[in-house]
Amino acid sequence: MEFVTLNNGVKMPMVGLGVFRVNDHKECEEMVYQAIEMGYRLIDTAAAYENEEAVGRAIKRSRVPREDLFITTKLWVTDTNYEGAKRGFQRSLDRLGLDYIDLYVIHQPNNDYYGAWRAMEELYQEGKVRAIGVDNFQQDRLVDFINFNRIKPAVNLIEANVFFQREEELSVMKEKNIQMEAWSPLAAGNNDLFSNDLLQQLSIKYKKSVAQIVLRWLFQRGIVSIPKSSNLKRMKENLDIFDFDITKEDMNAIAHLDTNQSCFPTRYKAKEVEEFLEIAKKYKV
């Protein structure tokens, strides 16, 4: 496993396992357990995924020392305020069955995320969390956030894949010393990613799967990725990306796949945000 050192000195694995939409608790527990057994050290969950307890059971089953794991969970919108963050964090900690969280993240830039951050700063200073970060913060929100808080986010999770490469966002985060982490690094297979001609050609050239090409491409750009898979063969493949290098020429070829458009529905308009918030309130966090 390769690691990156965050802006507070904490080391974070460059590839992890995401468990978004793994709603079956038995499946989630087994998936996470098998991932840890095969070498995954970063596990990414969230209160809104409703599977923190399953992740916690897998961690408990594992023979890997707790200090060797890097566990991320996230604060949901309805708890995004000062008091809510304290409550939400403790609920997540209890569900996971842990003494501390490695990375605690504001899941969405909605509600009172400044108030929530004050609570998270306190949790960080108390040693209950090793690093704090944000999720889905665009450039304007991120820069504003940095300028009006004492502690800078260690990580910002945003969508990043070959079709939505986020080069400008990556440049800003590097300048601000914030680690970029890619959610949905394989674009959930959208835009026929796995049958893309260029990626197929590179797969043959490097004797690696298309997924491995994409994850290696993200790694070489300095981006942490959290692909999701419950298939043991693909889980192993997603972790096996550290024994080859994509040439500069091929990295540039992949750059031309960028559409600068999200592969998923966006929430930039009032109606879209209002619809999202109505749904967000229904989550059992």
Report the chain's terminal Cα–Cα distance, integer Å. Answer: 32
Q: Is 49 marked active-site?
A: yes
Q: Which residue is catalytic, options 33, 40, 49, 113?
A: 49
Strand 3-5 relative to strand 11-13, pairing:
antiparallel
What is the distance of C-alpha 35 from the center of its chain?
A: 16
The DSSP result for the chain, as a single string, is: --EEE-TTS-EEESB-EE-TT---HHHHHHHHHHHHHHT--EEE--GGGT-HHHHHHHHHH--S-GGG-EEEEEE-GGG-SHHHHHHHHHHHHHHHT-S-EEEEEE-SS-SSHHHHHHHHHHHHHTTSEEEEEEES--HHHHHHHHHT-SS--SEEEEE-BTTB--HHHHHHHHHHT-EEEEESTTGGGGGGGGG-HHHHHHHHHHT--HHHHHHHHHHHTT-EE------HHHHHHHH--SS----HHHHHHHHTT--SS-SS----SHHHHHHHHHHHTTS--
Crossing angle (nearest 10°) for helices 113-125 and 139-147: 60
Alpha-carbon span 59 to 228, nearest angstrom = 17
Alpha-carbon span 215 to 33, nearest angstrom = 22
List the catalytic residues.
Answer: 49
